[in-house]
Structure 1
Amino acid sequence: MSGRRLTPALLVAPGSLLFIGLVIIPLVLTVILSFHAYDHTTGIKDDLTFGHYLGVLTDDYYLTIFWRTLRLALLTTLICALVGAPEAYILSRMRDPWRSVFLLVILGPLLVSVVVRAFGWSMLLGSTGLVNQALQAVGLGPVKLLYTESAIVIALVHVMLPFMVIPVWTALQKLDPTVEAAAWTLGASRFTTLRRIVLPQVSIGLLSGSLIVFGLSASAFAIPGLLGGRRLKMAATLVYDEYMHELNWPLGAAIAILVLLANLIIMLTYNRVIETRARKSLG
Protein backbone atom coordinates (compact mmCIF):
# COMPACT_ATOMS: atom_id res chain seq x y z
CA MET A 1 0.00 0.00 0.00
CA SER A 2 2.84 2.34 0.85
CA GLY A 3 4.40 1.63 -2.54
CA ARG A 4 1.21 2.67 -4.27
CA ARG A 5 1.16 5.91 -2.34
CA LEU A 6 4.75 6.64 -3.33
CA THR A 7 4.20 5.91 -7.02
CA PRO A 8 2.52 9.26 -7.86
CA ALA A 9 5.22 11.17 -5.98
CA LEU A 10 7.98 9.28 -7.80
CA LEU A 11 6.34 9.94 -11.16
CA VAL A 12 6.00 13.65 -10.44
CA ALA A 13 9.47 14.03 -8.89
CA PRO A 14 11.55 14.38 -12.13
CA GLY A 15 9.28 17.06 -13.56
CA SER A 16 9.07 18.84 -10.22
CA LEU A 17 12.85 18.87 -9.80
CA LEU A 18 13.26 20.18 -13.33
CA PHE A 19 10.68 22.93 -12.70
CA ILE A 20 12.31 23.91 -9.42
CA GLY A 21 15.78 23.99 -10.94
CA LEU A 22 14.90 25.86 -14.13
CA VAL A 23 12.14 28.18 -12.91
CA ILE A 24 11.80 28.54 -9.16
CA ILE A 25 15.47 28.83 -8.18
CA PRO A 26 16.38 31.37 -10.94
CA LEU A 27 13.25 33.37 -10.06
CA VAL A 28 14.16 33.43 -6.35
CA LEU A 29 17.73 34.48 -7.18
CA THR A 30 16.40 37.25 -9.43
CA VAL A 31 14.17 38.53 -6.63
CA ILE A 32 17.10 38.54 -4.21
CA LEU A 33 19.30 40.32 -6.75
CA SER A 34 16.68 43.02 -7.29
CA PHE A 35 17.01 44.15 -3.66
CA HIS A 36 20.79 44.60 -3.77
CA ALA A 37 22.19 48.10 -3.91
CA TYR A 38 24.28 49.15 -6.91
CA ASP A 39 27.04 51.67 -7.36
CA HIS A 40 28.29 52.65 -10.81
CA THR A 41 31.90 52.67 -9.59
CA THR A 42 32.00 49.56 -7.40
CA GLY A 43 29.14 47.51 -8.86
CA ILE A 44 26.71 45.34 -6.89
CA LYS A 45 26.81 45.80 -3.11
CA ASP A 46 25.74 43.53 -0.28
CA ASP A 47 23.40 46.18 1.11
CA LEU A 48 19.68 45.62 0.59
CA THR A 49 17.36 48.36 -0.63
CA PHE A 50 13.90 49.00 -2.08
CA GLY A 51 15.31 51.89 -4.10
CA HIS A 52 15.20 50.10 -7.46
CA TYR A 53 11.49 49.36 -7.17
CA LEU A 54 10.68 52.85 -5.93
CA GLY A 55 12.76 54.41 -8.67
CA VAL A 56 11.04 52.42 -11.40
CA LEU A 57 7.52 53.01 -10.09
CA THR A 58 8.04 56.76 -9.68
CA ASP A 59 9.92 57.48 -12.91
CA ASP A 60 7.84 58.52 -15.92
CA TYR A 61 10.46 57.07 -18.26
CA TYR A 62 9.93 53.52 -17.00
CA LEU A 63 6.16 53.94 -16.62
CA THR A 64 5.92 55.07 -20.24
CA ILE A 65 7.74 51.94 -21.39
CA PHE A 66 5.51 49.75 -19.21
CA TRP A 67 2.39 51.38 -20.62
CA ARG A 68 3.68 50.93 -24.19
CA THR A 69 4.40 47.26 -23.51
CA LEU A 70 0.95 46.70 -22.05
CA ARG A 71 -0.81 48.60 -24.82
CA LEU A 72 0.98 46.84 -27.67
CA ALA A 73 0.50 43.42 -26.05
CA LEU A 74 -3.23 44.05 -25.63
CA LEU A 75 -3.54 45.34 -29.20
CA THR A 76 -1.68 42.30 -30.54
CA THR A 77 -3.93 39.97 -28.53
CA LEU A 78 -7.08 41.71 -29.80
CA ILE A 79 -6.01 41.55 -33.46
CA CYS A 80 -4.97 37.91 -33.10
CA ALA A 81 -8.38 37.09 -31.59
CA LEU A 82 -10.27 38.92 -34.36
CA VAL A 83 -8.21 37.25 -37.09
CA GLY A 84 -7.47 33.90 -35.48
CA ALA A 85 -10.99 32.91 -34.39
CA PRO A 86 -12.46 33.12 -37.93
CA GLU A 87 -9.39 31.31 -39.29
CA ALA A 88 -9.87 28.54 -36.75
CA TYR A 89 -13.57 28.29 -37.61
CA ILE A 90 -12.80 28.01 -41.32
CA LEU A 91 -10.08 25.44 -40.56
CA SER A 92 -12.51 23.33 -38.52
CA ARG A 93 -14.95 23.22 -41.44
CA MET A 94 -12.38 22.28 -44.06
CA ARG A 95 -11.82 18.77 -45.34
CA ASP A 96 -8.59 17.05 -46.28
CA PRO A 97 -6.35 17.76 -48.12
CA TRP A 98 -7.20 21.47 -47.84
CA ARG A 99 -7.26 21.32 -44.05
CA SER A 100 -3.69 19.99 -44.00
CA VAL A 101 -2.53 22.66 -46.44
CA PHE A 102 -4.22 25.45 -44.49
CA LEU A 103 -2.82 24.13 -41.21
CA LEU A 104 0.67 24.04 -42.72
CA VAL A 105 0.28 27.68 -43.79
CA ILE A 106 -0.70 28.65 -40.24
CA LEU A 107 2.08 26.66 -38.55
CA GLY A 108 4.70 27.41 -41.18
CA PRO A 109 5.98 30.63 -39.55
CA LEU A 110 6.79 28.67 -36.38
CA LEU A 111 9.41 26.76 -38.35
CA VAL A 112 11.36 29.97 -38.99
CA SER A 113 13.37 31.77 -36.32
CA VAL A 114 11.78 34.86 -34.81
CA VAL A 115 14.94 36.82 -35.61
CA VAL A 116 14.73 35.83 -39.28
CA ARG A 117 11.07 36.86 -39.43
CA ALA A 118 11.87 40.16 -37.75
CA PHE A 119 14.60 40.88 -40.31
CA GLY A 120 12.14 39.96 -43.05
CA TRP A 121 9.58 42.45 -41.76
CA SER A 122 12.28 45.13 -41.45
CA MET A 123 13.01 44.67 -45.15
CA LEU A 124 9.31 44.77 -46.08
CA LEU A 125 8.48 47.82 -43.94
CA GLY A 126 11.60 49.86 -44.69
CA SER A 127 11.58 53.10 -46.65
CA THR A 128 12.51 51.20 -49.81
CA GLY A 129 10.67 48.01 -48.88
CA LEU A 130 7.90 46.27 -50.76
CA VAL A 131 5.12 47.87 -48.71
CA ASN A 132 6.28 51.42 -49.41
CA GLN A 133 6.82 50.59 -53.08
CA ALA A 134 3.23 49.37 -53.28
CA LEU A 135 1.97 52.53 -51.56
CA GLN A 136 3.93 54.71 -53.96
CA ALA A 137 2.52 52.76 -56.90
CA VAL A 138 -1.04 53.69 -55.86
CA GLY A 139 -0.09 57.30 -55.13
CA LEU A 140 -0.13 57.20 -51.34
CA GLY A 141 3.54 58.09 -51.07
CA PRO A 142 6.16 56.64 -48.74
CA VAL A 143 5.06 56.07 -45.15
CA LYS A 144 7.35 55.66 -42.17
CA LEU A 145 6.59 52.19 -40.85
CA LEU A 146 9.90 50.85 -39.65
CA TYR A 147 10.86 51.74 -36.07
CA THR A 148 7.27 52.50 -35.16
CA GLU A 149 4.69 50.86 -32.91
CA SER A 150 2.78 49.78 -36.01
CA ALA A 151 5.76 47.74 -37.23
CA ILE A 152 6.04 46.02 -33.84
CA VAL A 153 2.34 45.15 -33.79
CA ILE A 154 2.36 43.84 -37.38
CA ALA A 155 5.30 41.55 -36.71
CA LEU A 156 3.94 40.41 -33.34
CA VAL A 157 0.60 39.49 -34.90
CA HIS A 158 2.40 37.49 -37.58
CA VAL A 159 4.42 35.62 -34.95
CA MET A 160 1.65 35.12 -32.37
CA LEU A 161 -1.27 34.24 -34.65
CA PRO A 162 -0.65 30.45 -34.59
CA PHE A 163 -0.82 30.52 -30.78
CA MET A 164 -4.37 31.88 -31.10
CA VAL A 165 -5.58 29.70 -33.97
CA ILE A 166 -4.53 26.34 -32.55
CA PRO A 167 -6.34 26.60 -29.16
CA VAL A 168 -9.53 27.87 -30.81
CA TRP A 169 -9.37 25.16 -33.47
CA THR A 170 -8.85 22.52 -30.78
CA ALA A 171 -11.91 23.78 -28.90
CA LEU A 172 -13.98 23.69 -32.09
CA GLN A 173 -13.10 20.03 -32.61
CA LYS A 174 -15.41 19.22 -29.70
CA LEU A 175 -18.38 20.87 -31.44
CA ASP A 176 -20.56 18.53 -33.46
CA PRO A 177 -21.35 20.15 -36.86
CA THR A 178 -24.82 18.59 -36.74
CA VAL A 179 -25.66 20.87 -33.81
CA GLU A 180 -25.29 23.91 -36.08
CA ALA A 181 -27.35 22.18 -38.76
CA ALA A 182 -30.05 21.46 -36.20
CA ALA A 183 -30.13 25.12 -35.18
CA TRP A 184 -30.51 26.20 -38.81
CA THR A 185 -33.29 23.65 -39.28
CA LEU A 186 -35.14 25.09 -36.28
CA GLY A 187 -35.05 28.55 -37.84
CA ALA A 188 -31.99 30.12 -36.20
CA SER A 189 -29.99 32.52 -38.35
CA ARG A 190 -26.29 32.01 -38.94
CA PHE A 191 -25.50 34.95 -36.63
CA THR A 192 -27.66 33.49 -33.84
CA THR A 193 -26.04 30.09 -34.33
CA LEU A 194 -22.58 31.60 -34.06
CA ARG A 195 -23.53 33.63 -31.00
CA ARG A 196 -25.46 30.94 -29.09
CA ILE A 197 -23.66 27.74 -30.12
CA VAL A 198 -20.20 28.40 -31.59
CA LEU A 199 -18.96 31.28 -29.41
CA PRO A 200 -19.64 29.54 -26.06
CA GLN A 201 -17.73 26.55 -27.38
CA VAL A 202 -14.69 28.57 -28.47
CA SER A 203 -14.58 30.77 -25.34
CA ILE A 204 -12.14 28.40 -23.60
CA GLY A 205 -9.94 28.33 -26.69
CA LEU A 206 -10.03 32.12 -26.93
CA LEU A 207 -9.11 32.38 -23.27
CA SER A 208 -6.14 30.03 -23.65
CA GLY A 209 -4.97 31.70 -26.86
CA SER A 210 -5.35 35.19 -25.43
CA LEU A 211 -3.33 34.34 -22.34
CA ILE A 212 -0.56 32.79 -24.43
CA VAL A 213 -0.45 35.64 -26.95
CA PHE A 214 -0.54 38.36 -24.30
CA GLY A 215 2.19 36.75 -22.20
CA LEU A 216 4.49 36.18 -25.17
CA SER A 217 3.84 39.64 -26.63
CA ALA A 218 4.48 41.44 -23.34
CA SER A 219 7.82 39.62 -22.95
CA ALA A 220 8.89 39.73 -26.61
CA PHE A 221 12.46 40.85 -27.18
CA ALA A 222 13.65 40.17 -30.74
CA ILE A 223 10.82 41.93 -32.57
CA PRO A 224 10.75 45.13 -30.46
CA GLY A 225 14.54 45.23 -30.52
CA LEU A 226 14.82 44.92 -34.32
CA LEU A 227 11.67 46.74 -35.46
CA GLY A 228 11.35 49.28 -32.67
CA GLY A 229 14.93 50.47 -32.72
CA ARG A 230 16.88 51.89 -29.82
CA ARG A 231 14.43 54.70 -29.09
CA LEU A 232 11.17 52.74 -29.09
CA LYS A 233 11.79 50.40 -26.18
CA MET A 234 9.60 47.78 -24.54
CA ALA A 235 10.00 46.01 -21.21
CA ALA A 236 12.20 43.17 -22.47
CA THR A 237 14.57 45.49 -24.33
CA LEU A 238 14.75 47.72 -21.26
CA VAL A 239 15.79 44.78 -19.08
CA TYR A 240 18.39 43.78 -21.67
CA ASP A 241 19.86 47.30 -21.70
CA GLU A 242 20.14 47.40 -17.92
CA TYR A 243 21.87 44.02 -17.82
CA MET A 244 24.17 44.27 -20.83
CA HIS A 245 24.78 47.98 -21.42
CA GLU A 246 24.40 49.68 -18.05
CA LEU A 247 25.57 46.58 -16.12
CA ASN A 248 23.01 47.50 -13.44
CA TRP A 249 21.83 43.96 -12.77
CA PRO A 250 19.76 44.78 -9.66
CA LEU A 251 17.76 47.40 -11.54
CA GLY A 252 17.27 45.04 -14.47
CA ALA A 253 16.12 42.32 -12.07
CA ALA A 254 13.66 44.72 -10.43
CA ILE A 255 12.19 45.69 -13.81
CA ALA A 256 11.88 42.02 -14.80
CA ILE A 257 10.07 41.16 -11.55
CA LEU A 258 7.68 44.10 -11.94
CA VAL A 259 6.86 43.06 -15.51
CA LEU A 260 6.29 39.49 -14.35
CA LEU A 261 3.97 40.61 -11.54
CA ALA A 262 2.02 42.90 -13.89
CA ASN A 263 1.57 40.07 -16.41
CA LEU A 264 0.44 37.65 -13.70
CA ILE A 265 -2.08 40.10 -12.26
CA ILE A 266 -3.57 40.92 -15.67
CA MET A 267 -3.69 37.30 -16.82
CA LEU A 268 -5.17 35.96 -13.55
CA THR A 269 -7.77 38.74 -13.48
CA TYR A 270 -8.71 38.06 -17.09
CA ASN A 271 -8.95 34.35 -16.37
CA ARG A 272 -11.19 34.96 -13.36
CA VAL A 273 -13.52 37.27 -15.31
CA ILE A 274 -13.89 34.80 -18.18
CA GLU A 275 -14.52 31.88 -15.83
CA THR A 276 -17.14 33.87 -13.90
CA ARG A 277 -18.99 34.76 -17.09
CA ALA A 278 -18.81 31.17 -18.30
CA ARG A 279 -20.33 29.89 -15.06
CA LYS A 280 -23.13 32.45 -15.26
CA SER A 281 -23.92 31.50 -18.84
CA LEU A 282 -23.98 27.80 -17.97
CA GLY A 283 -26.10 28.45 -14.89
Structure 2
Amino acid sequence: MTPQEIKERLSACARTVEAYLARCLHGRGIPQGLLEAMEYSLLAGGKRLRPVLCMTAAGVMGLDGRTVLPFAAGIECIHTYSLIHDDLPAMDDDDLRRGKPSNHKMFGEATAILAGDGLLTEAFALMGTVAETVPADRVVRAMTEMAVAAGSGGMVGGQHLDMDYTARSGVSYDELRGMHAMKTGALIRAACVSGAMLAGADGDDVRRLRVYGESIGAAFQIVDDILDEVGDEAQLGKPVGSDAAQGKTTYPSLLGIARSREIAQEHVDRAVEHLRPYSGGDADFLRSLAQYIVDRVS
Protein backbone atom coordinates (compact mmCIF):
# COMPACT_ATOMS: atom_id res chain seq x y z
CA MET A 1 0.00 0.00 0.00
CA THR A 2 1.15 3.53 -0.73
CA PRO A 3 1.53 6.06 2.12
CA GLN A 4 -1.57 7.83 0.86
CA GLU A 5 -3.59 4.61 0.86
CA ILE A 6 -2.43 3.89 4.41
CA LYS A 7 -3.47 7.37 5.54
CA GLU A 8 -6.85 7.01 3.88
CA ARG A 9 -7.53 3.65 5.52
CA LEU A 10 -6.32 4.91 8.89
CA SER A 11 -8.58 7.94 8.54
CA ALA A 12 -11.59 5.83 7.54
CA CYS A 13 -11.08 3.45 10.48
CA ALA A 14 -10.50 6.38 12.83
CA ARG A 15 -13.78 7.99 11.74
CA THR A 16 -15.64 4.77 12.58
CA VAL A 17 -14.01 4.71 16.00
CA GLU A 18 -14.66 8.44 16.53
CA ALA A 19 -18.36 8.07 15.78
CA TYR A 20 -18.66 5.33 18.38
CA LEU A 21 -16.57 7.19 20.97
CA ALA A 22 -18.78 10.27 20.56
CA ARG A 23 -21.79 8.39 21.96
CA CYS A 24 -20.43 5.50 24.02
CA LEU A 25 -20.29 7.36 27.36
CA HIS A 26 -23.78 8.86 27.13
CA GLY A 27 -26.67 7.50 29.13
CA ARG A 28 -24.38 5.94 31.72
CA GLY A 29 -25.20 8.26 34.61
CA ILE A 30 -21.90 10.13 34.49
CA PRO A 31 -22.10 13.61 36.12
CA GLN A 32 -22.03 16.27 33.42
CA GLY A 33 -18.83 17.96 34.59
CA LEU A 34 -16.98 14.66 34.71
CA LEU A 35 -18.38 13.58 31.34
CA GLU A 36 -17.18 16.85 29.82
CA ALA A 37 -13.66 16.25 31.13
CA MET A 38 -13.62 12.64 29.94
CA GLU A 39 -14.83 13.52 26.45
CA TYR A 40 -12.49 16.52 26.23
CA SER A 41 -9.54 14.14 26.03
CA LEU A 42 -11.27 11.12 24.50
CA LEU A 43 -12.53 13.14 21.53
CA ALA A 44 -9.39 15.26 21.06
CA GLY A 45 -8.33 13.41 17.92
CA GLY A 46 -5.29 11.23 17.36
CA LYS A 47 -4.53 8.35 15.03
CA ARG A 48 -6.69 5.84 16.96
CA LEU A 49 -3.89 3.37 16.24
CA ARG A 50 -4.72 0.91 19.01
CA PRO A 51 -8.42 0.38 18.15
CA VAL A 52 -7.50 0.18 14.47
CA LEU A 53 -4.98 -2.55 15.27
CA CYS A 54 -7.56 -4.48 17.28
CA MET A 55 -10.17 -4.32 14.53
CA THR A 56 -7.68 -5.16 11.79
CA ALA A 57 -6.17 -8.10 13.69
CA ALA A 58 -9.68 -9.51 14.05
CA GLY A 59 -10.10 -9.07 10.30
CA VAL A 60 -6.87 -10.94 9.57
CA MET A 61 -8.31 -13.86 11.55
CA GLY A 62 -11.60 -13.81 9.67
CA LEU A 63 -13.91 -11.71 11.87
CA ASP A 64 -15.37 -8.43 10.60
CA GLY A 65 -13.54 -5.73 12.55
CA ARG A 66 -16.76 -3.78 13.14
CA THR A 67 -17.94 -6.62 15.35
CA VAL A 68 -15.27 -5.78 17.93
CA LEU A 69 -15.71 -1.98 17.74
CA PRO A 70 -16.86 -1.58 21.39
CA PHE A 71 -13.82 -3.55 22.55
CA ALA A 72 -11.53 -1.46 20.35
CA ALA A 73 -13.11 1.73 21.71
CA GLY A 74 -12.40 0.46 25.21
CA ILE A 75 -8.71 0.23 24.32
CA GLU A 76 -8.77 3.87 23.25
CA CYS A 77 -10.38 4.78 26.59
CA ILE A 78 -7.49 3.08 28.40
CA HIS A 79 -4.95 4.87 26.22
CA THR A 80 -6.64 8.23 26.80
CA TYR A 81 -6.75 7.72 30.57
CA SER A 82 -3.01 7.06 30.53
CA LEU A 83 -2.36 10.29 28.63
CA ILE A 84 -4.43 12.35 31.09
CA HIS A 85 -2.51 10.93 34.02
CA ASP A 86 0.89 11.13 32.30
CA ASP A 87 0.38 14.87 31.76
CA LEU A 88 -0.28 15.59 35.44
CA PRO A 89 2.24 17.74 37.35
CA ALA A 90 3.19 14.74 39.49
CA MET A 91 4.10 12.78 36.35
CA ASP A 92 5.38 14.36 33.12
CA ASP A 93 3.91 17.81 33.86
CA ASP A 94 2.93 18.60 30.27
CA ASP A 95 0.71 21.59 29.46
CA LEU A 96 -0.23 20.50 25.93
CA ARG A 97 -1.70 17.34 24.46
CA ARG A 98 -2.65 17.04 20.79
CA GLY A 99 -2.29 20.78 20.39
CA LYS A 100 -4.74 21.61 23.20
CA PRO A 101 -4.31 22.37 26.90
CA SER A 102 -3.85 19.20 28.92
CA ASN A 103 -6.87 17.92 30.81
CA HIS A 104 -5.68 19.20 34.19
CA LYS A 105 -5.06 22.64 32.67
CA MET A 106 -8.71 22.79 31.59
CA PHE A 107 -10.47 21.11 34.50
CA GLY A 108 -8.03 21.06 37.42
CA GLU A 109 -5.97 18.19 38.75
CA ALA A 110 -8.69 16.50 40.80
CA THR A 111 -11.15 16.31 37.91
CA ALA A 112 -8.39 15.18 35.53
CA ILE A 113 -7.53 12.30 37.87
CA LEU A 114 -11.19 11.31 38.09
CA ALA A 115 -11.61 11.61 34.30
CA GLY A 116 -8.75 9.16 33.86
CA ASP A 117 -10.19 6.83 36.49
CA GLY A 118 -13.56 6.99 34.79
CA LEU A 119 -12.18 6.19 31.35
CA LEU A 120 -10.22 3.22 32.65
CA THR A 121 -13.21 1.59 34.30
CA GLU A 122 -15.69 2.45 31.53
CA ALA A 123 -13.26 0.78 29.11
CA PHE A 124 -13.92 -2.66 30.55
CA ALA A 125 -17.67 -2.08 30.62
CA LEU A 126 -17.51 -1.34 26.89
CA MET A 127 -15.36 -4.39 26.21
CA GLY A 128 -17.80 -6.64 28.02
CA THR A 129 -20.64 -5.68 25.67
CA VAL A 130 -18.91 -7.54 22.83
CA ALA A 131 -20.06 -10.76 24.51
CA GLU A 132 -23.48 -10.04 22.97
CA THR A 133 -22.07 -11.00 19.55
CA VAL A 134 -18.79 -12.84 20.26
CA PRO A 135 -18.51 -16.03 22.36
CA ALA A 136 -18.01 -15.05 26.00
CA ASP A 137 -14.90 -17.20 26.48
CA ARG A 138 -13.13 -15.24 23.74
CA VAL A 139 -14.14 -11.95 25.34
CA VAL A 140 -12.83 -13.07 28.74
CA ARG A 141 -9.47 -14.06 27.21
CA ALA A 142 -9.19 -10.76 25.37
CA MET A 143 -10.19 -8.69 28.42
CA THR A 144 -7.66 -10.54 30.57
CA GLU A 145 -4.96 -9.84 27.98
CA MET A 146 -5.86 -6.16 28.02
CA ALA A 147 -6.01 -5.90 31.82
CA VAL A 148 -2.55 -7.43 32.18
CA ALA A 149 -1.12 -5.10 29.51
CA ALA A 150 -2.63 -2.01 31.12
CA GLY A 151 -1.78 -2.98 34.68
CA SER A 152 1.15 -2.91 37.06
CA GLY A 153 3.16 -5.41 35.04
CA GLY A 154 2.50 -3.45 31.86
CA MET A 155 1.64 0.18 31.16
CA VAL A 156 1.32 1.32 34.79
CA GLY A 157 4.56 -0.38 35.75
CA GLY A 158 6.25 1.16 32.74
CA GLN A 159 5.16 4.64 33.83
CA HIS A 160 6.60 3.96 37.28
CA LEU A 161 9.93 2.97 35.74
CA ASP A 162 9.83 6.02 33.49
CA MET A 163 9.57 8.30 36.52
CA ASP A 164 12.23 6.30 38.36
CA TYR A 165 14.64 6.62 35.43
CA THR A 166 13.98 10.33 34.83
CA ALA A 167 17.03 12.45 35.71
CA ARG A 168 18.89 9.27 36.67
CA SER A 169 22.26 8.76 35.05
CA GLY A 170 23.46 5.44 33.73
CA VAL A 171 20.15 4.04 32.47
CA SER A 172 21.12 1.14 30.21
CA TYR A 173 19.77 0.21 26.81
CA ASP A 174 18.18 -2.94 28.27
CA GLU A 175 16.49 -0.91 31.01
CA LEU A 176 15.20 1.62 28.49
CA ARG A 177 13.93 -1.09 26.16
CA GLY A 178 12.21 -2.96 29.00
CA MET A 179 10.56 0.18 30.33
CA HIS A 180 9.12 1.14 26.95
CA ALA A 181 7.99 -2.44 26.26
CA MET A 182 5.81 -2.00 29.33
CA LYS A 183 4.77 1.64 29.06
CA THR A 184 4.08 1.88 25.31
CA GLY A 185 4.49 -1.56 23.80
CA ALA A 186 2.20 -3.55 26.08
CA LEU A 187 -1.00 -1.78 25.04
CA ILE A 188 -0.12 -1.91 21.33
CA ARG A 189 0.73 -5.60 21.63
CA ALA A 190 -2.48 -6.33 23.50
CA ALA A 191 -4.55 -4.47 20.91
CA CYS A 192 -3.29 -6.87 18.25
CA VAL A 193 -3.56 -9.98 20.40
CA SER A 194 -7.03 -9.19 21.74
CA GLY A 195 -8.38 -8.63 18.22
CA ALA A 196 -7.04 -12.02 17.19
CA MET A 197 -8.45 -13.68 20.31
CA LEU A 198 -11.89 -12.19 19.73
CA ALA A 199 -11.82 -13.78 16.29
CA GLY A 200 -11.09 -17.16 17.86
CA ALA A 201 -7.37 -17.31 17.09
CA ASP A 202 -5.10 -19.46 19.22
CA GLY A 203 -1.62 -20.99 19.20
CA ASP A 204 0.70 -19.81 16.44
CA ASP A 205 -1.73 -17.18 15.19
CA VAL A 206 -1.80 -15.44 18.57
CA ARG A 207 1.98 -15.80 18.89
CA ARG A 208 2.56 -14.16 15.51
CA LEU A 209 0.22 -11.25 16.26
CA ARG A 210 1.91 -10.87 19.65
CA VAL A 211 5.35 -10.55 18.04
CA TYR A 212 3.94 -8.15 15.44
CA GLY A 213 2.45 -5.96 18.18
CA GLU A 214 5.60 -6.04 20.30
CA SER A 215 7.72 -5.09 17.32
CA ILE A 216 5.65 -2.18 16.06
CA GLY A 217 5.24 -0.98 19.65
CA ALA A 218 9.01 -0.79 20.00
CA ALA A 219 9.35 0.96 16.64
CA PHE A 220 6.61 3.42 17.55
CA GLN A 221 8.38 4.44 20.77
CA ILE A 222 11.76 4.84 19.09
CA VAL A 223 10.25 7.13 16.48
CA ASP A 224 8.46 9.07 19.24
CA ASP A 225 11.83 9.64 20.91
CA ILE A 226 13.33 10.79 17.63
CA LEU A 227 10.46 13.16 16.91
CA ASP A 228 10.80 14.67 20.37
CA GLU A 229 14.24 15.84 19.25
CA VAL A 230 13.73 16.70 15.59
CA GLY A 231 9.96 16.84 15.05
CA ASP A 232 7.74 19.81 14.33
CA GLU A 233 5.75 20.95 17.36
CA ALA A 234 2.79 22.06 15.24
CA GLN A 235 2.53 18.63 13.61
CA LEU A 236 3.10 16.72 16.84
CA GLY A 237 0.62 18.73 18.87
CA LYS A 238 2.90 18.70 21.92
CA PRO A 239 6.16 20.39 22.96
CA VAL A 240 9.38 19.24 21.28
CA GLY A 241 12.40 18.73 23.51
CA SER A 242 10.46 17.89 26.66
CA ASP A 243 12.32 14.58 27.14
CA ALA A 244 15.69 16.31 27.29
CA ALA A 245 14.30 19.10 29.49
CA GLN A 246 13.09 16.51 32.02
CA GLY A 247 16.33 14.54 31.95
CA LYS A 248 14.81 11.46 30.34
CA THR A 249 16.98 8.79 28.79
CA THR A 250 15.83 8.16 25.20
CA TYR A 251 16.95 6.02 22.31
CA PRO A 252 18.62 8.99 20.55
CA SER A 253 20.36 10.10 23.74
CA LEU A 254 21.82 6.61 24.18
CA LEU A 255 22.39 5.55 20.58
CA GLY A 256 22.11 8.64 18.37
CA ILE A 257 19.39 9.33 15.85
CA ALA A 258 20.88 7.30 12.98
CA ARG A 259 21.28 4.11 15.02
CA SER A 260 17.85 4.61 16.59
CA ARG A 261 16.30 4.72 13.12
CA GLU A 262 18.14 1.52 12.18
CA ILE A 263 16.80 -0.30 15.24
CA ALA A 264 13.27 0.92 14.53
CA GLN A 265 13.54 -0.48 11.02
CA GLU A 266 14.79 -3.80 12.39
CA HIS A 267 11.67 -4.02 14.54
CA VAL A 268 9.48 -3.28 11.52
CA ASP A 269 11.19 -6.00 9.49
CA ARG A 270 10.57 -8.47 12.32
CA ALA A 271 6.91 -7.46 12.51
CA VAL A 272 6.38 -7.91 8.78
CA GLU A 273 8.14 -11.28 8.78
CA HIS A 274 5.66 -12.64 11.33
CA LEU A 275 2.74 -11.76 9.05
CA ARG A 276 4.13 -13.85 6.19
CA PRO A 277 1.49 -16.61 6.51
CA TYR A 278 -1.42 -14.19 6.03
CA SER A 279 -2.94 -12.71 2.91
CA GLY A 280 -5.77 -10.34 2.14
CA GLY A 281 -6.42 -6.65 2.61
CA ASP A 282 -6.20 -6.62 6.41
CA ALA A 283 -2.84 -8.40 6.46
CA ASP A 284 -1.52 -6.12 3.71
CA PHE A 285 -2.62 -3.10 5.72
CA LEU A 286 -0.82 -4.32 8.86
CA ARG A 287 2.36 -4.89 6.87
CA SER A 288 2.21 -1.41 5.34
CA LEU A 289 1.24 0.16 8.65
CA ALA A 290 4.40 -1.18 10.28
CA GLN A 291 6.55 0.73 7.81
CA TYR A 292 4.35 3.80 8.04
CA ILE A 293 5.01 3.94 11.80
CA VAL A 294 8.73 4.37 11.14
CA ASP A 295 8.29 6.87 8.31
CA ARG A 296 5.77 9.11 10.11
CA VAL A 297 6.47 12.73 11.05
CA SER A 298 3.84 13.12 13.81
Give the alignment's TM-score, normalised by structure 1: 0.31
Give the alignment's TM-score, normalised by structure 2: 0.30
Whose radius of gyration is greater, 1 or 2?
1
Q: Larger relative CO (CA 8 A, sep 6+): 1 or 2?
A: 1
Q: Which is richer in helix? A: 1
